[in-house]
């Protein structure tokens, strides 16, 4: 595994802009997540690859991570079945969960490369969160 891939999950989520990961250094964010009913004992997250898909947020194994591992791909876009139903947007709580970015992020990584994506990821997340695309 290339260490540059480590911060970005197989589904395209970048832990650098993932709130359950970022709250480790931000007590205000941690408290906000707890207020949103994201259980206190499930924070902070160490990142999908670090926990081998055993997601503390969902309380179990991530099916997307498991699928990527089973298909021996680093990112979902490397799979012949991309995009598949595992990457469907999460309409439930879409306003507070960044998982709707998955397919966009994967396509962006494939198009511009991982290094450039990681640099642009905070801006992509900011635009997503503010619901304003320029």
For the chain, give the mean pLDDT.
78
Q: Are 79 and 73 in contact (CB under 8 A)?
A: yes
Q: Are 73 and 65 in contact (CB under 8 A)?
A: no
When pLDDT is averaged across residues 49-70 and rounded to a whole number, the result is 85
Residue 73 in tokens: 């791909």
Q: What is the pLDDT of residues 8-57, one digit of tens each?
A: 888 888 877 777 777 777 778 778 877 776 666 666 777 788 888 887 77
Q: What is the Cα–Cα distance from 10 to 100, expressed in whole angstroms?
A: 14
Higher pLDDT, 105 or 6: 105
Nearest in space to 24 (alpha carbons), one of 5, 50, 1, 52: 50
**C-alpha separations of 9 from 32, 49, 78, 118, 121 in Å:** 23, 6, 13, 12, 13
What's the pLDDT at 72? 95
**Measured distance CA(91)–CA(93) in Å, rounded:** 6
Which ranges of 5-131 does DSSP label H, i.e. alpha helix?
Answer: 19-22, 27-35, 63-70, 102-112, 114-130
The predicted structure's pLDDT at residue 29? 79
Strand, helix or coil at 14? strand
Which string of b and e fits 72-102 if b means at least 16 CB within 10 Å?
ebebbbebeebeeebbeeeeeeeeebbbbbb
């Amino acid at each position: 595994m290339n260490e540059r891939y480590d911060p970005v999950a197989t589904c395209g989520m970048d832990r650098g802009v993932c709130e359950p990961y970022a709250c480790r250094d931000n007590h205000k964010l941690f408290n906000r997540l707890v207020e949103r009913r994201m259980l206190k004992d499930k924070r902070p997250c160490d990142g999908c690859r670090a926990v081998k898909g055993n997601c503390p947020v969902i309380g179990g194994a991530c099916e997307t991570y498991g699928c990527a591992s089973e298909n021996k791909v680093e990112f979902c876009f490397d799979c012949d079945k991309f995009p598949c139903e595992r990457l469907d947007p999460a309409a439930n709580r879409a306003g507070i969960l960044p998982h709707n970015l998955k397919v966009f992020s994967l396509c962006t990584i494939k198009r511009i490369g991982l290094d450039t994506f990681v640099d642009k990821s905070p801006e992509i997340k900011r635009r997503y969160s503010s619901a304003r695309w320029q």
